[in-house]
Structure 1
Amino acid sequence: MKPVRVIILAVAVVSAGLAGFLALKLTGGSTPISSAEPVIEREPTVNVLVASKSLPVGSRLDPDAIHWMSWPKDGVVEGLITEELRPTAVTDLQGVVVRLPIFNGEPVRAEKIAESSSRIMSALLPAGKRAVATEITVATGAGGFILPNDRVDVIMVRKTPEGSFLTETVLSNVRVLAIDQQIEEKEDGSKSVVGTTATLELTPDQTKVMTVAQQMAERLSLALRSVADAQEPDTASADYLLSGDGRPAIQIIKSGSIVRSEEGSSTMEAQ
């Protein structure tokens, strides 16, 4: 082999080795570039009192019913109960009665609850309305399915002097304010909750009609209305059970029928 070729080959081998060494040196000594993580700023929050479960009308608040939940500060509106303003609200509101339905996770607003006291029913009543109670059973209370805030018709069954029976709707689409419930134990040892008294929301005139109907009726029943009927008028009543001119009157009831109406009298004659 010619000396020139040997020299060229040696130079090539040395150059290749030198290039490989430099490449290895550069790769091994390089520092990896780390990507910068974006900085996320959290929105300020406050603790808001919310319901731990769905609370129907008439239920009472207890430690299992409410709790504090983190809430965006910009989303807090007037009426919400915050820990910043009322730090002892969970304790202070024990026993408070729910005036309007509150759903699980919904903030507890001041206007949806009423202080627990002997005047709680007055807090549930709208202006101008009256609360009137009537006795019910499973048979006369739609099988026990009537609940507070439902709408019902009041149906009266009365006996005529001839011995026949009349069925009349004396009140229509009235709201149920409350159901007084008691525990009933069955023969097999199981227990069920049944209502014994229904409290209805009535106008003053409906209150008079209801009072007369309770005296005349062989039986009063509550017929449960559809929730779709809630917007229908609720002031209709059997006004013919009262005197026509609205003046104070005494209804003389005999054998389930009105036999005479005496106006302007201050005493009642019982027959």
Structure 2
Amino acid sequence: MKNIPPLLLLVLAVVFGGFAAYIASGWLKARARPAARDSVAMMPAVAAARNIAPGSVLIPELLKVVQLPKEHVAADAATDLKALEGRVTRQLIVAGEVIQEHELAPKGAPGGMAGIIGNDKRAVTIKVDEASGVAGFIVPGNRVDVLLSLDRNEFKNDPVTQIVLQNLPVLGTGQDIEQQKAGERPKVVPTVTLEVTPEEGERLALAAKEGTITLALRGWTEKAAIPTAGARVSALLTPEKKAAANFEGPIPPPAKVGVEVIRGVGREMVNF
């Protein structure tokens, strides 16, 4: 140590001092992080452990408790798992989603379709084909418009299609078996169950009986009703096609082109 120059000792002291300060600063910051996390107010909330279908009776296996920042938890969010046991879901609840009171049927409601129908509402099931049912993309929880197409009686010569009901909730989808003629195999027909008011149910049943029903799937946020005048075949045609469609007489043959040929004192008409 006697042979070490004083200047070198000073440099070493500065280096080791800076290193010690760096280590101490990192240690203090590491201890400050848990304190910062602890300063965020957390609270328990009950979420879906997996996708839960509408009309399901809630049991512990379908639920899980998660800890979330208090400011991110909705006012009607469920916080007590035991209090949810036996409640019935009114709509699809996706895995991980915090369960909220407005997504549940009133306490004491039975499971299944009857438990998810709203007050003063009814459930009406209609048959659809693969195309009119939006090719299988309609699922419970969606909302649809109902289009009616008529081509009989006064609409025979000018079929019409118009939206007759709008923004109807889809309660369920399924299948029905239609019996065919003797020797033919039964036909499986897709069905869709809609939630309607009694008046809407009357209109829907009549529409299904008198014409062809088509369902139009609405966007998730689209709620407003849009008035329409309907569409007729006559309005789809161009003026030229309208004239051809309205002409009932036979189509005349095309006019012939002729040339008069003069041979001496004789005349002859040659047609081409």
TM-score with structure 2 setting the length: 0.53
Matched, 1:222 2:214: yes
* Residue of structure 2 equivalent to 1:202: 196
Q: Point out where structure 1 has 5 or more consecutive residues left out of the alignment.
A: 1-14, 185-193, 239-271
For 1:237 and 1:133, how far apart are their aligned partners in 2?
26
Q: 1:136 touches 1:196 (CA, 8 Å); kept in 2?
A: yes
In the alignment, which residue of structure 2 is the partner of 1:187? none
- Matched with 1:142 is 134
Match of 1:108 in 2: 99
Alpha-carbon contact 1:51-1:107 (below 8 Å) kept? yes
Deviation by residue 1:113-167 (Cα, 9 ceiling, x = unmatched): 2366257446443x55443221223244232222232312232445338976844
Say whether the 8 Å CA contact 1:132–1:202 is kept in structure 2: yes
Contact 1:154 1:171 in 2 (8 A): yes
Measure, in 2, the Cα distance between the counterparts of 1:73 and 1:228. Answer: 27
Displacement of 1:212 in angstroms is 2.7
- The reply to whether residue 47 of structure 1 matches residue 44 of structure 2 is yes
Q: What residue identity is the alignment partner of 2:45?
A: V
Q: Distance in 2 between matches of 1:158 and 1:68?
A: 56
Q: Separation in 1 of the partners of 2:124 and 2:73?
A: 39
* CA gap 1:161/1:222 in 2 versus in 1, 3 angstroms: closer
Q: Which residue of 2 aligns with 1:80?
A: 77
Q: Percent identity?
A: 19
- 2:111 and 2:73 mapped to 1: Cα distance? 32
CA distance in 1 between counterparts of 2:162 and 2:189 reads 22
Of Structure 1 and Structure 2, the greater helix share is in 2
* Structure 2 counterpart SS, 1:211: helix
CA distance in 2, matches of 1:182, 1:68: 36
| 2:106 is aligned with 1:117 | no
Equivalent residues of 2:117, 2:195 under 8 A apart: no
Q: Which secondary structure state, in structure 1, belongs to the residue aligned with residue 201 of structure 2?
A: helix
**Are the aligned partners of 1:50 and 1:67 in contact in 2 as well (CA < 8 Å)?**
yes
- Change in Cα spacing, 1:129 to 1:88, as seen in structure 2 (3 Å) is closer
> 1:8-42 CA distances to partner (integer Å, 9 max, x unpaired)?
xxxxxxx955978xx6xx98xx9967625244422
**Following superposition of structure 1 onto structure 2, how do residues 122-133 of structure 1 map, counting pairs within 5 Å?**
123-125=116-118, 127-133=119-125
Consecutive unaligned residues in structure 2, runs of 5 or more: 178-187, 231-272
Deviation at 1:180, TM superposition (A): 2.9
